[in-house]
């Protein structure tokens, strides 16, 4: 008399399928997760010590990015504005607004404002703003429509493969230097032709050597 | 031990040395074979087994403690340094992989060559292969500086957009070893099916029936199944044969493809494969001699088997010796002073004792098998087989450490000294190997009953020409 | 509602004879059970050649070509890197992995193909319910006929006439 | 990029009183100096001052922890494994000067040791000094820097530094300290400072000397005693003997073709070593103006290793040899003046050959006497130089800053007063005199007789333990001052960072005794120089240029060539020297200087240039002597000298003179930190005041079975007959040298055609000229500082796991008693067909489009296969986590441009790729595509005093490196392997005297 019953066959097979499927799903899930915003930290809301609204400063006041991010064309870091820069205007306007209290406090105590970092690369990645900006890569390309962000979020995955896309074929991401800070910039005329033309003009070429970013 | 095995033992003793020793003593019928061959599985756990198991368990514990420690503090826990960046880790890896060659070789190649004496030792040898390869598989992982990134060695689509480097012999290793393990495992399991079914059907307890029933997947000896089974088994053997040769060839590439004097040698692939078979058969002997005594398998694993294996040892031992010879000759002949120095250094450098031990164990010891009496003497066989295993470990040490510690620039020469952790891992793997093997002996028939039954029929049909399909099956 | 009629036989000739006889009688759905493969049973049962070799070939070809293309695409096309001044696409260095992946896939195809063809895993089968059938994997030869209940009676007699012992009938109840 | 930068450490570079932020005093820090105010203004202080910054955790953890980040990369950013959000601290007020976050800014300053300054450029990033370079405008640096200068930066961030001040066991705030110092000073006014003494080190600083003068005016009976254990008394006496007055001797090797060094290690020791190495190396290439160097010495020094002829002799025999040369010059070369000096000396073959050579190059030769030699030898050297007409050409003389040389004599005077109990207040600014004092001056006991011992200390040490006042000393990079180079050139010492820990400088301490400490160092130095320059209104502008250039122009002392008083010299040197019997003790200076670098882990681990011993010093003897004494390397022996005892391990040194035991000073500290305590043995404990350097009558007795483990980074000194570090004799080279190199360069037949680098604007390469390299190891420390290279400790070095990316291989050839030496700097040679690359399974080491052999740490899984396959064995592996457990202060030193490697990762020389990328980005961002040759230097190249290392762009045929690759002396290391290295070597050429080599 067999120890198994007809339903054993089904059970046995189902279990096998579950085991195999489960293993596959776990691996696939991890790989997938690494590619979705949840995994790359995109669209993550981040509390800043001061409710700074880029939207308002760019659209309503028409301030150029470089007014505050002064060193973007000259150094690796774009440069977080010193409190003094804020006070240039806010000593005059909104100089009583409670929202700006932390700024004034910083200015008078000399304590820096503890901004929270949004775009964060590993320490072994050496990203340099100046070279990108000078070779015609716009702020928008990596940081997105800042002019539409009440609070800054990371819009690009910032994964290595994402960097590589552009490092292998920069042309589509180039724009004339004068439009670097323009938001929602559209190439007039044939984008491909323009891209290639800019490649020549700024002497841009693909760089995928490891030491370009890792030192 | 059952009555009839005693009888067989008696038969063995009465055999006249001038007569060819049979591969199967007596004419036990199927039921008898079932009884004797499954006896170890059904019998009560023995004291001896428990003692050995406890020992193996302890050593396994040591192994994983040592590995844990290495992971915690880094490779610095070992004796490795610059220039000797590879040492025990890789020595053990190559040694175990080599041992893991006999099984598949015996069952696959001997099957293709229709060697009757294969039948009663192949299951045993395959199991040994699996467990040896498991030991070997540990090392590529634990010898990494950052083992938690080991998965970077596999070509999976990562967000880094970087791929492994397929020019690296190490990557070939990854593929070769994992393929070899998978293939051996499946080959072994497929071969096990009929016996598992037999166990299921001949076991008394309900639990055992369920367990064996699950693992035998519902095998019921149907002619429809046999038809696919035989050809599948044959094909697996056909694939495993080149595979087993490729694996050690690729392992030897780790060295041959580099340009270090003492490593960069074209003789390596054949010489490694020969060495692998050499050590593999040695290990089979080391294990099978006590096992057949303990379980009373003298009638199925007869002196014929042992003697044949001794012959294989002799043959492969000579090949290995030839490998050494040609290495040294080419070094001298090349006129390359770096190459020449390495071989001079092996015999005269700080590691000369290991080198001499290697020569003794691998070149001298096998020579005693020219004498038939030595081949038939259990003790000589057993001790020789152990010595060969030691010798083969020394060979890997000589190749890896001795070549590394004095290479091109004398300024960077240095001495390698193994640490406690190094030793623990080496001994630990032996314990872990033993552990798995003991479990195998206890829960799986270590001689393939179905194949021995078939063999018996063949021996009966000897007179009449075998059936064509059956020939294919063998 | 199908049933199985099973009978044990002493030696393979009797078994084969019985099989032939039953087929002459038009019972095609026969199967033999034995601890070892039997000679000439395939003819007796009229079984065709196995499909396993074909499966193996397909697997081997897929594996090898896939392995080679993978290496070519990853190192020469997707991320070409100058490694030690070696050509990006170096066929010689691709041989080992091509071979290994060929073997691997082929082996997997064979084994799982075998299981598929045998309908494994199938721990339960009506035949197991036949009294004494356990001996099929140990030392006895069995013949089983799948038929409908109506004809079971006749087959039983036939089998007994052909020398089958322990003849029994088990209903197939696939639930 | 560390976020410390964004805290806005104020770099008090150029900002003076006017442009300093309002809230600050002249030196920009005084206002928080008192703890009282500190507690009030703590908030303000924290934001403004680095001492806060040193303890911001996130700034420091981040760079160190590659594991976490690696893991995050590994799991491709599974949120759980992503590093925590970091804070960004922006400047509150952006500094006025063009200071950009993350951009390195070099500031000119100077570093004085034993009263001699070397001009430096110190690179700061975001206010953190991280790297020292030489100042090209400084005459004694010429852009080069030695291992000690390089290592100074590590001391700045030493967590063992003394913070704050304690007087009589009471912690004092800055203001309180000054007040109390003022009162102490006042109590001495009534008796004119009769019971006030100062124990200082040697100094040339005009400001300090001026302060001393003014203190002496206020306290006429107070005394200053200058003590240096590495004394140059003999040098001064020699000059007095020869010229009748104290004069500094200034060597000029660029004009010298024949050089005779009498026990003088001028290439690695002494105030002008950097300049002399440059000048010496300039004439070591084959040709008409190739120089020839004779060295007479006991132990094999780097100078001896560079010599064309090296005469092995006891230090005491050097005088005899000098007289023989003089004799030969007098007799056969007709320099009659020298006859009396030579006395009855009989010239040997060597002596005559040297004399002949010297005489053949009158005015273009030079005799150098080492500071360890007695006055007579110096006098003879002066006499010979005068007689040979070298004076004024290859050597000239100038008045020293202080008449009396610092040394035992001055200490003895002080000791007398101390013993007499005539001292109430002793101010010690000299470095750790209790340790450095001669064995026969028991300063430790004497100090107990002094009620108030004020000690200006950088770290707790033997002296601070005996002092009643321990005053935290500022690091030279933290304070204002001035310093004088050996040639008289003065540099303004400007700070690169606020004191990381509360401390003051010697200037401020002395000023306290004039009641001027309140002014602060900045004010003091500026006032002094405003007065000294007499520039008035124009001063501000001039001051600016001085700071920018790093030198005060026109301060170099006038050189003169005074007449030698041959009679007096003869009087001192005329009679034959006494025969020395028994063993002779010879004390030498090595990498730890007088011991003040004993706690510098870089230097402790740095292998000795000749013996390659790391983490130890040893009593060195010749093979012969060792045999006679029945000792061998590692044997522990007891050394006895005039009843003084020391236990030491023996090292059998090739090329060492027989009958001498060489004892390196500065080791075996007792009250040092964990890194240095009981490392090596204290040879100083054997030293007496009389014979500070050389003393006969040493007894050596082996004891104990167990040997002492001396670890060497290189254990095999033979080239095993392989073509590795090649050297030729000049003549052999002329004849068929280039031909002998044919098989070591040029194309090798390879299976694969080389990758083309023609389209690239840059094609990096390096050239190393073995003829120039003196093996000083300066480059090794420079590399360590630039690339955040870990120190691994003695145990790991013993396992041969040192991490130095750049090592200097040293091979001996010829007889072991006096071998020829070749030093070969070796770092990754960046093979175009790199064996390491194709074996890496994960593509962690690959080639860049500009031909760099890249090592990608964050991709490395640590199979170590690359190292096995590297024929040069230049790869280093993090066997353990060597960067662990750094104090926050230490972490501030890390170069933010270089990844800190985690355990399990392979690393190696990258040709300073961080510098390459910075330079390239700079030029390309500004639109061009050309980096001028020489503007981009690797750390090793920049440090190298003899300019043996040249890095540059091979794509530019005019670049120096391209020319080196074309040089006929060029060869490739292990060329036959076909690795096509990007680093080319130039063979070394020796220039032996045919008369002697015959």
C contacts of A17 (beta carbons < 8 Å): none
Pairwise CB contact (< 8 Å): D70 & B164: no
Query: What is the Cα–Cα distance from D780 to D792, expressed in whole angstroms?
Result: 15
State the Cα–Cα distance between residues D459 and D158, nearest whole angstrom.
9
Interhelix angle B449-461/B30-42, nearest 10 degrees: 160
D296 — pLDDT class (breaks 50, 70, 90) = very high
Residue D97 has pLDDT above 70, yes or no: no
Q: What is the pLDDT of residue D28?
A: 34
Which pLDDT belongs to residue D42? 36
Chain A residue with CA closest to C173: the answer is A6
What pLDDT score was predicted for residue C28?
Answer: 80
Has residue D126 got a pLDDT over 60?
yes
pLDDT for position C39: 80
Average pLDDT over residues B359-384: 92
Q: What is the pLDDT of residue A1?
A: 57
Under an 8 A CB cutoff, do A203 and D101 touch? Answer: no
Closest-CA distance of chain A to residue B164, Å: 14
What is the average per-residue pLDDT within B343-350? 94
Asked if B82 and D905 come within 8 Å (Cβ–Cβ), the reply is: no
Please tell me the least confidently modeled range out of D360-364, D676-680, D916-920.
D676-680
Q: How much is the pLDDT for D70?
A: 37
Please answer yes or no on whether A2 and C121 come within 8 Å at the CB atom. no
Q: For residue D842, with 0-12 CB atoms within 10 Å meaning exposed, 13-18 middle and 19 or more buried, which class applies? A: buried
pLDDT the model gives residue B5: 44
Collect the ranges in chain C with pLDDT lower than 70: 1, 173-175
Give the tens place of pLDDT for each residue, A66-102.
Answer: 999 988 988 898 888 889 889 988 988 888 888 899 9
Average pLDDT over residues A25-47: 89
Candidates D601, D481, D500; CA nearest to D128 is: D500
Q: Is the pLDDT of residue A202 over 60?
A: yes
With CB atoms and an 8 Å threshold, state whether C138 touches B231: no
Band (D900; pLDDT cuts 50, 70, 90)? very high
The pLDDT value given to residue D62: 36
* Contact D843/C at CB under 8 A: yes
Smallest CA–CA distance, residue B80 to chain D, in Å, is: 8
Give mean pLDDT, residues B75-82: 94
Q: Chain-centre distance of CA B297, in angstroms?
A: 21
Which residue of chain A is at minimal alpha-carbon distance from D72?
Answer: A122
What residues of C are in contact with residue A6 (Cβ under 8 Å)? 124, 173-175
**Nearest CA among B142, B161, B162, B158 for reference residue B150:** B142
Q: What is the pLDDT of residue D66?
A: 36
Taking only the tens place, the pLDDT of each residue in B409-450 is 999 999 999 999 999 999 999 999 999 999 998 888 888 888
Among D810, D950, D998, D992, which Cα is nearest to D305's? Answer: D810
User: B194 vs chain C: nearest CA distance in angstroms?
Assistant: 7
What is the pLDDT confidence band of residue B103, given thresholds at 50, 70 and 90?
confident
- In angstroms, the CA B407 to CA D874 distance is 13
A211 in C contact zone (CB under 8 Å): no
How high is the pLDDT of residue B359? 95
pLDDT band at D82 (very low <50, low <70, confident <90, very high): low
The pLDDT confidence band at residue D5, using thresholds 50, 70 and 90, is very low
Q: Is D88 in CB contact (< 8 Å) with chain A?
A: yes
Grade residue B26 by pLDDT with cuts at 50, 70 and 90: low
**Region D458-468 average pLDDT:** 93
- In this model, does residue D364 exceed pLDDT 80? yes
Q: How far is CA D768 from CA B319, D275, D965, in A?
A: 48, 19, 10
pLDDT of residue D674: 87
Closest residue of chain C to A168, computed from CA coordinates: C79
Instruction: Give residue D26's pLDDT.
Output: 36
| Model confidence band, residue D83 (pLDDT cutoffs 50, 70, 90) | low
By percentage, how much of chain D surpasses pLDDT 90? 73
CA-CA distance, B316 to B312, in Å (whole number)? Answer: 6
Question: How many whole angstroms separate alpha carbon D571 and alpha carbon B170?
Answer: 77
Tens-digit pLDDT profile for residues B287-299? 989 988 888 888 7
Cα–Cα distance between A192 and A171 in angstroms, integer?
Answer: 7
Q: List the single residue in D833, D836, D843 with the smallest CB-CB distance to C85.
A: D833
Closest CA to B281 of B252, B312, B305: B312
Q: Is a pLDDT exceeding 90 seen at residue A173?
A: yes
* Confidence (pLDDT) at D33: 30
- Residue A30 · residue A36 · CB < 8 Å: no
**Proportion of chain D above pLDDT 70, given as a percent:** 91
Question: With an 8 Å Cβ cutoff, is A46 touching chain D?
Answer: yes
SS3 D928: coil
Pairing of strands D619-621, D258-262: unpaired
Q: Supply the pLDDT for residue B462.
A: 62
Question: Of B420, B425, B433, which is closest to residue B90 (Cα–Cα)?
Answer: B425
Asked whether residue D69 carries a pLDDT value surpassing 60, the answer given is: no
ipTM of the complex: 0.91
CB atoms within 10 A of CB D936: 23
When pLDDT is averaged across residues B231-241 and rounded to a whole number, the result is 91
Of C81, C83, C85, the CB nearest to D754: C85
pLDDT tens readout for residues D623-678: 999 999 999 999 999 999 999 999 999 999 999 999 999 999 999 998 888 888 88
**Residue A39: closest C-alpha in chain B:** B159
Looking at the complex, report in whole angstroms how far the Cα of residue C34 sits from the nearest Cα belonging to chain D. Answer: 50
Nearest C-alpha of chain B: how many angstroms from D810? 7
pLDDT of residue D96: 59
| Average model confidence (pLDDT) across chain D | 87
State which of C46-55, D580-589, D941-950 shows the largest mean pLDDT.
Answer: D941-950
Residue B213: list chain C partners with CB under 8 A: 123
Return the ∠ at Cα D243 (arms to D240 and D244), rounded to 5°: 55
Q: What SS3 state is found at D701?
A: strand
- Position D435 scores a pLDDT of 94
Q: Report whether pLDDT(B1) > 80.
A: no
**A207/D849 CB distance under 8 A:** yes
Whole-number Å distance between alpha carbons of D761 and D919? 13
Query: Under a CB-based contact definition with an 8 Å cutoff, are residues D651 and D638 in contact?
Result: no
């Amino acid at each position: 008399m067999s120890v198994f019953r007809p339903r054993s066959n089904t059970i046995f097979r189902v279990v096998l399928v579950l085991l195999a499927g489960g293993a596959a799903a776990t691996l696939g899930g991890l790989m997938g997760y690494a590619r979705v915003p949840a995994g790359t930290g995109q669209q993550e809301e981040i509390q800043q010590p001061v409710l700074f609204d880029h939207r308002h400063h760019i659209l309503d006041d028409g301030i150029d990015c470089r007014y505050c991010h002064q060193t973007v064309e000259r150094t690796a870091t774009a440069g977080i504005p010193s409190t003094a820069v804020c006070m240039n205007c806010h000593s005059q306007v909104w100089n009583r607004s409670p929202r700006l209290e932390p700024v004034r406090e910083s200015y008078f105590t000399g304590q820096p404002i503890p901004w929270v970092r949004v775009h964060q690369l590993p320490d072994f990645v050496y990203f340099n703003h100046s070279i990108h900006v000078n070779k015609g890569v716009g702020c928008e390309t990596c940081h997105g429509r800042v002019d539409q962000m009440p609070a800054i979020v990371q819009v690009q995955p910032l994964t290595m493969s994402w960097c590589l896309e552009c490092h292998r074929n920069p042309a589509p991401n180039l724009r004339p230097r004068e439009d670097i800070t323009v938001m929602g910039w559209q190439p007039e005329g044939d984008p491909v032709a323009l891209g290639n033309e800019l490649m020549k003009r700024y002497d841009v070429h693909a760089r995928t050597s490891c030491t370009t970013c890792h030192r | 031990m059952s009555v009839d095995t005693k009888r067989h033992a008696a038969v063995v003793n009465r055999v006249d040395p001038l007569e060819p020793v049979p591969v199967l003593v007596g004419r036990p019928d199927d039921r008898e074979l079932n009884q004797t061959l499954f006896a170890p599985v059904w019998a009560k756990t023995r004291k001896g087994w428990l003692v050995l198991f406890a020992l193996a368990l302890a050593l396994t514990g040591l192994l994983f403690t040592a590995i844990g420690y290495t992971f915690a503090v880094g490779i610095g826990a070992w004796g490795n340094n610059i220039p000797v960046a590879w040492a025990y880790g890789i020595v053990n890896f190559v040694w175990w992989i080599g041992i893991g060659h006999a099984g598949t070789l015996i069952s696959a190649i001997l099957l293709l060559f229709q060697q009757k004496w294969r039948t009663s030792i192949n299951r045993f040898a395959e199991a040994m292969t699996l467990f040896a390869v498991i030991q070997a598989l540990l090392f590529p992982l634990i010898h990494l500086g950052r083992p938690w990134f080991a998965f970077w060695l596999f070509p999976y689509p990562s967000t880094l957009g970087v791929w492994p480097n397929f020019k690296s012999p190490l990557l070939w290793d990854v593929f070769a070893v994992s393929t070899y393990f998978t293939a051996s495992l499946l080959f072994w399991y497929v071969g096990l099916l009929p016996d598992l079914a037999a166990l299921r059907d001949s076991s008394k307890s309900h639990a055992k029936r369920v367990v064996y029933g699950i693992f035998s997947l519902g095998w019921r000896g149907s002619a429809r199944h046999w038809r696919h089974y035989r050809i599948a088994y044959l094909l697996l053997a056909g694939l495993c044969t080149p595979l087993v040769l490729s694996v050690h060839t690729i392992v030897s590439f780790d060295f041959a493809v580099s340009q270090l004097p003492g490593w960069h040698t074209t003789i390596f692939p054949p010489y490694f494969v020969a060495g692998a078979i050499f050590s593999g058969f040695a290990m089979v002997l080391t294990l099978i001699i006590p096992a057949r005594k303990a379980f009373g398998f003298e009638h199925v694993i007869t002196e014929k088997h042992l003697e044949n294996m001794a012959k294989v040892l002799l043959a492969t031992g000579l090949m290995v010796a030839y490998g050494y010879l040609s290495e040294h000759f080419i070094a001298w002949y090349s006129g390359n002073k770096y190459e020449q120095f390495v071989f001079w250094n092996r015999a005269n450098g700080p590691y000369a004792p290991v080198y001499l031990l290697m020569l003794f164990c691998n070149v001298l010891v096998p020579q005693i098998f020219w004498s038939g009496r030595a081949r038939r003497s259990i003790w000589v066989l057993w001790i020789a087989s152990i010595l060969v295993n030691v010798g083969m470990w020394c060979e890997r040490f000589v190749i890896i450490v001795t070549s590394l510690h004095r290479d091109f620039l004398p300024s960077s020469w240095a001495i390698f000294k193994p640490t406690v952790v190094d030793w623990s891992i080496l001994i630990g793997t032996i314990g872990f190997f033993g552990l798995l093997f003991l479990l195998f002996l206890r829960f799986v028939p270590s001689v393939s009953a179905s194949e021995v039954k078939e063999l018996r029929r063949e021996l009966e049909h000897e007179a009449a020409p075998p059936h064509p399909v059956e020939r294919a099956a063998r | 509602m199908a049933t199985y009629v099973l009978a044990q036989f002493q030696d393979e000739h009797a078994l084969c004879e019985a099989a032939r006889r039953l087929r002459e009688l038009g019972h095609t759905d026969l199967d033999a059970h034995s601890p070892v493969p039997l000679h000439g049973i395939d003819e007796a049962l009229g079984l065709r050649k196995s499909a396993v070799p074909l499966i193996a070939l397909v697997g081997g070809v897929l594996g090898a070509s896939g392995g080679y293309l993978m290496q070519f695409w990853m190192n020469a096309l997707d991320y070409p890197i100058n490694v030690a001044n070696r050509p990006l696409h170096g066929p010689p260095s691709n041989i080992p992995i091509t071979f290994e992946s060929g073997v691997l896939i082929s082996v997997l195809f064979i084994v799982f193909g075998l299981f598929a063809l045998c309908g494994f895993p199938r721990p339960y089968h009506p035949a197991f319910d036949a009294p004494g059938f356990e001996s099929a994997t140990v030392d006895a030869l069995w013949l089983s006929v799948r038929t409908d209940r109506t004809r079971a009676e006749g087959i039983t007699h036939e089998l007994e006439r052909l020398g089958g012992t322990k003849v029994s009938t088990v209903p197939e109840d696939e639930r | 990029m560390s976020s410390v930068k964004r805290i806005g450490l104020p770099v008090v570079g150029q900002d003076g009183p006017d442009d300093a932020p309002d809230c600050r005093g002249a030196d920009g820090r005084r206002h928080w100096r008192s703890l009282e105010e500190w507690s009030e203004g703590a908030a303000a202080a924290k934001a403004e001052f680095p001492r806060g910054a040193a303890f911001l955790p996130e700034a420091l953890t981040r760079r160190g922890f590659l594991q976490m980040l690696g893991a995050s990369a590994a799991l491709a950013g599974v949120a759980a494994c992503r590093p925590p959000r970091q804070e960004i601290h922006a400047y509150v007020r952006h500094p006025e000067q063009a200071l950009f976050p993350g951009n390195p800014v070099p500031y000119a300053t100077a570093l004085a040791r034993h009263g001699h300054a070397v001009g430096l450029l110190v690179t700061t990033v975001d206010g953190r000094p991280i790297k020292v370079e030489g100042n090209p405008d400084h005459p004694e640096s010429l852009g080069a820097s030695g291992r000690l200068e390089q290592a100074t930066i590590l001391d700045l961030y030493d967590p063992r530094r003394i913070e704050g001040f304690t007087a009589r066991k009471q912690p004092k705030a800055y203001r309180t300290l000054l007040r109390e110092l003022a009162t102490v000073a006042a109590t001495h006014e009534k008796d004119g400072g009769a019971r006030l003494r100062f124990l200082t080190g040697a100094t040339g600083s005009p400001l300090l000397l001026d302060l001393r003068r003014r203190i002496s005016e206020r306290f006429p009976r107070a005394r200053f005693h200058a003590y240096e254990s590495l004394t140059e008394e003999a040098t001064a006496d020699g000059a007095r003997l020869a010229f009748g007055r104290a004069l500094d001797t200034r060597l000029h090797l660029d004009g010298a073709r024949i050089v005779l060094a009498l026990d003088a290690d001028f290439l690695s020791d002494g105030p002008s070593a950097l300049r002399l190495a440059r000048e010496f190396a300039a004439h070591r290439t084959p040709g008409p103006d190739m120089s020839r160097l004779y060295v007479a010495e006991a132990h094999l020094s780097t100078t001896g290793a560079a010599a064309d002829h090296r005469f092995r002799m006891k230090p005491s025999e050097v005088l005899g040899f000098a007289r023989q040369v003089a004799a030969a010059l007098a007799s056969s070369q007709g320099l009659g003046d020298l006859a009396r000096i030579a006395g009855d000396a009989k010239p040997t073959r060597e002596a005559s050959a040297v004399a002949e050579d010297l005489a053949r190059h009158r005015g273009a030769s030079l005799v150098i006497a080492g500071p360890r030699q007695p006055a007579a030898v110096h006098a003879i050297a002066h006499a010979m130089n005068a007689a040979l007409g070298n004076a004024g050409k290859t050597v000239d003389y100038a008045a020293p800053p202080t008449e009396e040389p610092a040394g035992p004599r001055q200490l003895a005077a002080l000791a007398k007063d101390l013993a007499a109990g005539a001292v109430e207040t002793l101010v010690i600014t000299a470095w750790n005199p209790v340790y450095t004092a001669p064995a026969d001056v028991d300063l430790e006991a004497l100090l107990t007789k002094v009620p108030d011992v004020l000690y200006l200390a950088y770290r707790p040490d033997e002296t601070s333990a005996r002092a009643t006042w321990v005053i935290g000393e500022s690091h030279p990079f933290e304070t204002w001052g001035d310093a004088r180079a050996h040639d008289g050139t003065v540099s303004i010492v400007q700070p690169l960072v606020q004191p990381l820990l509360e401390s003051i400088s010697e200037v401020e301490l002395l000023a306290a005794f004039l009641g001027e400490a309140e002014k602060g160092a900045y004010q003091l130095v500026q006032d002094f120089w405003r007065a000294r320059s007499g520039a008035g209104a124009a001063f501000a502008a001039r001051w600016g240029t001085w700071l920018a250039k790093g030198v005060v122009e026109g301060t170099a002392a006038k050189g003169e060539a005074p007449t030698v008083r041959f009679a007096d010299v003869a009087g001192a040197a005329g009679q034959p020297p006494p025969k020395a019997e028994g063993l002779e003790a010879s004390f030498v200076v090595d990498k730890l200087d007088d011991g003040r670098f004993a706690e510098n882990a870089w230097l402790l681990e740095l292998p000795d240039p000749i013996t390659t011993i790391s983490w130890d010093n040893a009593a060195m003897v010749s093979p012969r002597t060792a045999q006679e004494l029945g000792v061998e390397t590692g044997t522990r022996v007891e050394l006895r000298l005039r009843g003084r005892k020391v236990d030491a391990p023996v090292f059998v040194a090739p090329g060492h003179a027989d009958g001498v035991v060489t004892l390196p000073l500065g080791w075996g500290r007792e009250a040092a930190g964990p890194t240095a305590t009981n490392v090596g043995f204290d040879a100083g404990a054997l030293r007496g005041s009389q014979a500070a350097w050389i003393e006969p009558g040493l007894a050596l007795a082996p004891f104990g079975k167990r040997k002492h483990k001396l670890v060497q980074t290189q254990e095999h000194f033979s080239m095993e007959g392989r073509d590795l570090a090649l050297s030729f004799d000049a003549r052999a080279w002329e004849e068929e040298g280039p031909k002998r190199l044919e098989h070591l360069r040029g194309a090798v037949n390879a299976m694969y055609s080389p990758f083309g680098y023609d389209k690239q604007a840059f094609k990096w390469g390096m050239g190393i000229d073995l003829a120039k390299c003196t093996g000083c190891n300066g480059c090794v420390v420079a590399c360590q500082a630039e690339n955040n290279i870990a120190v691994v400790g003695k145990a790991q070095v013993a396992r041969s796991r040192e991490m130095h990316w750049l090592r200097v291989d040293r091979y001996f050839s010829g007889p072991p008693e006096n071998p020829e030496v070749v030093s070969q700097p070796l770092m990754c040679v960046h093979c175009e067909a790199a064996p390491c690359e194709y074996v890496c399974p994960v593509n962690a080491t690959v080639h860049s489009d500009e031909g760099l052999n890249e090592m990608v740490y964050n991709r490395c899984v640590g199979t170590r296969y690359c190292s096995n396959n590297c024929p040069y064995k230049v790869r280093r592996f993090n066997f353990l986590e060597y960067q662990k457990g750094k104090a926050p202060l230490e972490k501030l030193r890390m170069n933010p441009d270089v990844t800190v490697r985690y355990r399990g990762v392979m690393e190696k020389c990258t040709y300073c790729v961080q510098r390459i990328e910075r330079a390239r980005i700079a030029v390309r961002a500004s639109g061009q595509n050309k980096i001028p040759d020489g503007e981009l230097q690797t750390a090793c190249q920049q440090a190298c005093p003899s300019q043996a290392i040249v890095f540059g762009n091979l794509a530019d045929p005019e670049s120096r490196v391209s020319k080196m690759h074309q040089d006929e002396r060029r060869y490739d290391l292990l060329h036959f392997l076909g690795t096509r290295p990007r680093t080319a070597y130039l063979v070394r050429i020796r220039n032996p005297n045919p008369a002697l080599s015959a």
